[in-house]
Amino acid sequence: MKKLFVVGLGPGSADTMTAQARAALAESDVLCGYTVYTDLVAPLYPDKPVLTTPMRKEIDRCRMALERAAGGETVAMVCSGDAGVYGMACLIYQLAAEYPPVDIVIVPGVTAALSGAAVLGAPLSHDFCVISLSDLLTPWELIEKRLKAAAEADFCVALYNPASHKRADYLQKACDILLMAKKPETVCGWVRNIGREGQKSKLMTLAELRNEQLDMFCTVFIGNEKTQNLGGKMVTPRGYEAKL
Amino acid sequence: MKKLFVVGLGPGSADTMTAQARAALAESDVLCGYTVYTDLVAPLYPDKPVLTTPMRKEIDRCRMALERAAGGETVAMVCSGDAGVYGMACLIYQLAAEYPPVDIVIVPGVTAALSGAAVLGAPLSHDFCVISLSDLLTPWELIEKRLKAAAEADFCVALYNPASHKRADYLQKACDILLMAKKPETVCGWVRNIGREGQKSKLMTLAELRNEQLDMFCTVFIGNEKTQNLGGKMVTPRGYEAKL
């Protein structure tokens, strides 16, 4: 039985991939994925054929990968960040039953909550939530409910897909919900193009975050009530300071 | 100025480290950390001195690393999983002000929520929370509040430190809170010794999870209301099925 790897690439450069991810790509006969992600790894394996589908064609993309694997090839479906966190692993499992048996192997990777956190300092050192603000596949009411719950229980939060052309005011709406339970001076930050060319980051308060103009290449971090700005780094204490 | 790397090792084997983590260890003059974690990497660098402190001596461990770095050595403080998620990055930043300036570089790694998820299938493919059940540094009331919020807003949940000798009934208590808002048949799973020798995993319902006897080497996964057991894999749909 041939293998279908679902590979989390991390932020995208070769040095942020795990050895396991590199080995899965090397072992594969064909690389498959969204163009932006296959472009990150195709240069490392110039002889391997690359199959791509445009954005929002995720179902076609997964069917393509399953068909090739069922046909006898070892296939790597590549995902930015982790293979599971808003990645293709779930859809591959959901569609797999329609194809002859394929050995599916999930290779985890460093998701943006972790790689972005490392740029800002240590914002997620205590309990945290990961929430996507994209309402393409999730009702906005459920996103609002989760934001409200995260704020009321004083979680740190990593926000994925904070804005896009069609959703220019979603971050503002999210901040308004968070501000119902979190203080305006809560330490926040964002990172754009994590680990890629043109990486940028900024710290600010939650009140200020509300007015930031971000896009889909940004990941946003919201602190809990103990999160501090320590010399330009966003640091959420784990609680050891009680022992200092 | 010499460097202090805080390095997330991932689950621990060399193939689950990023190239960036390997490079940071290779560049360092000395490796520092909790014995269990330094034991994972010391064999890869047999010529490098290793500084360790026992469990719960995190403050001493970080001071040791900062002292050596301030003294002119390049130091790697190693952490299991990610450097930030319940790792040493926050404490290094908190203590750094007491020492001469040191260039602190956080190297992210694959935390157990991601590596464990890959073993079970794709349990965290929608919004999720990461919560530690250890009340050594966090009041139990706050942990309860976060569990309640996570359940009411139908988050997927990854639980770290689900139990220990002194906290034998904490997982049971956590499940009782989750069961106030999540259905007893919610798909759950756990993974023990992720990516290490003797790795084990199991799927079950939330009602069954309540009676599992786990330890601190386990990471627990609780699904949302749409999470399925697909042929023995725990899969949380991202929402594409609406388009199928």
A162 close to A214: Cβ distance less than 8 angstroms: yes
Same domain, A221 and A116: yes
Q: In terms of residue numbers, what domain contains B185? A: 112-235
**Per-residue pLDDT averaged across B213-238, rounded?**
97
| Listed residue (B64, B67, B71) closest to B32, CA to CA | B64
Q: Write down which residue in A107, A123, A140 finishes a domain.
A: A107
For residue A208, the distance in angstroms to the closest alpha carbon of chain B comes to: 24
- B219 is a domain residue: yes
pLDDT digits (tens, 9 = 90+) for A158-184: 999 998 888 889 999 999 999 999 999
In this structure, what CATH number is given to the domain that contains residue B135? 3.30.950.10
pLDDT of residue A13: 86
pLDDT digits (tens, 9 = 90+) for B3-30: 999 999 999 788 999 999 999 999 999 9
- The full 3-state SS of chain B, as one line of letters, equals CCEEEEEECECCCHHHCEHHHHHHHHHCCEEEEEHHHHHHHHHHCCCCCEEEECCCCHHHHHHHHHHHHHCCCCEEEEECECCCCCCCHHHHHHHHCCCCCCEEEEECCCCHHHHHHHHHEECCCCCEEEEECCCCCCCHHHHHHHHHHHHHCCCEEEEECCCCCCCCCHHHHHHHHHCCCCCCCCEEEEEECCCCCCCEEEEEEHHHHCCCCCCCCEEEEECCCCCEEECCEEECCCCHHHHC
Contacts of B242 in chain A (CB under 8 A): 137
Option in A84, A86, A122 nearest B84 (CB): A122
The CA distances from residue B189 to A107, A153, B80, B123, B217, in Å, are 18, 24, 21, 9, 14
Option in B93, B115, B235 nearest A230 (CB): B93
Count of all residues that appear for chain A in the document: 244
Helix (H) / strand (E) element for A130: namely strand A128-132
Same domain, A101 and A143: no
Percent of chain B with pLDDT over 70: 99
The CA distances from residue A175 to A108, A128, A150, A154, in Å, are 30, 16, 12, 14
Same domain, B160 and B83: no
**Per-residue pLDDT averaged across B148-168, rounded?**
94
Minimum CA–CA partner of B142 in chain A: A153
Option in A111, A153, A244 nearest B59 (CB): A244
Same domain, B140 and B195: yes
Judge: B117–A108 Cβ closer than 8 Å, yes or no: yes
- B244 is a domain residue: no
pLDDT digits (tens, 9 = 90+) for A199-228: 999 999 999 999 999 999 999 999 999 999
- A100 is a domain residue: yes
pLDDT of residue A236: 98
Judge: A20–B16 Cβ closer than 8 Å, yes or no: yes
Judge: B59–A125 Cβ closer than 8 Å, yes or no: no
Same domain, A92 and A182: no
Confidence grade of residue A56 (pLDDT, cut at 50, 70, 90): confident
pLDDT digits (tens, 9 = 90+) for A4-36: 999 999 997 889 999 999 999 999 999 999 998
**Per-residue pLDDT averaged across B71-84, rounded?**
97
The CA distances from residue A213 to A103, A135, A148, A162, A168, in Å, are 43, 18, 22, 10, 8
Q: Write down which residue in A61, A92, A107 finishes a domain.
A: A107
Count CB-CB contacts under 10 A for residue A5.
Answer: 27
pLDDT of residue A168: 84
Judge: B153–A154 Cβ closer than 8 Å, yes or no: no
Judge: A89–B122 Cβ closer than 8 Å, yes or no: yes
Is the pLDDT assigned to residue B63 strictly greater than 80? yes
Cα(B213)–Cα(B70) distance, integer angstroms: 45
Judge: B117–A106 Cβ closer than 8 Å, yes or no: yes
pLDDT of residue A91: 97
Confidence grade of residue A244 (pLDDT, cut at 50, 70, 90): low
Same domain, A153 and A226: yes
pLDDT of residue B111: 98
Query: Which residue type occupies A153?
Result: A
φ/ψ of B176, rounded to 5, equals -60, -40
pLDDT of residue A54: 76
pLDDT of residue A129: 98
Interface test with B, best of A125, A142, A178 (most B CBs within 10 A): A125
Same domain, B163 and B221: yes
Judge: A94–B235 Cβ closer than 8 Å, yes or no: yes
Same domain, A134 and A100: no
- A240 is a domain residue: no
pLDDT of residue B168: 84
Is the pLDDT assigned to residue B189 strictly greater than 80? yes
Is the pLDDT assigned to residue B244 strictly greater than 70? no
Same domain, B80 and B7: yes
**Per-residue pLDDT averaged across A50-76, rounded?**
93
Same domain, A188 and A223: yes
Contacts of B58 in chain A (CB under 8 A): 240
- A243 is a domain residue: no
pLDDT of residue B55: 74
Percent of chain A with pLDDT over 70: 99
Cα(A31)–Cα(B49) distance, integer angstroms: 41
In this structure, what CATH number is given to the domain that contains residue A87? 3.40.1010.10
Q: Write down which residue in A85, A107, A129 finishes a domain.
A: A107
Same domain, A30 and A15: yes
A164 close to A215: Cβ distance less than 8 angstroms: yes
Query: How many folded domains does chain A comprise?
Result: 2
pTM as predicted = 0.97
Query: Which residue type occupies B165?
Result: H
**Per-residue pLDDT averaged across B230-235, rounded?**
97
**Per-residue pLDDT averaged across B113-125, rounded?**
98
pLDDT of residue A12: 79
φ/ψ of B184, rounded to 5, equals -60, -30
Is the pLDDT assigned to residue B211 strictly greater than 80? yes
**Per-residue pLDDT averaged across A90-96, rounded?**
97
Cα(B189)–Cα(B172) distance, integer angstroms: 14
**Per-residue pLDDT averaged across A105-122, rounded?**
98
Residue written as token pair 């240069």: A43
Complex ipTM over 0.95: yes
Percent of chain B with pLDDT over 90: 89
Same domain, B73 and B161: no
- A242 is a domain residue: no
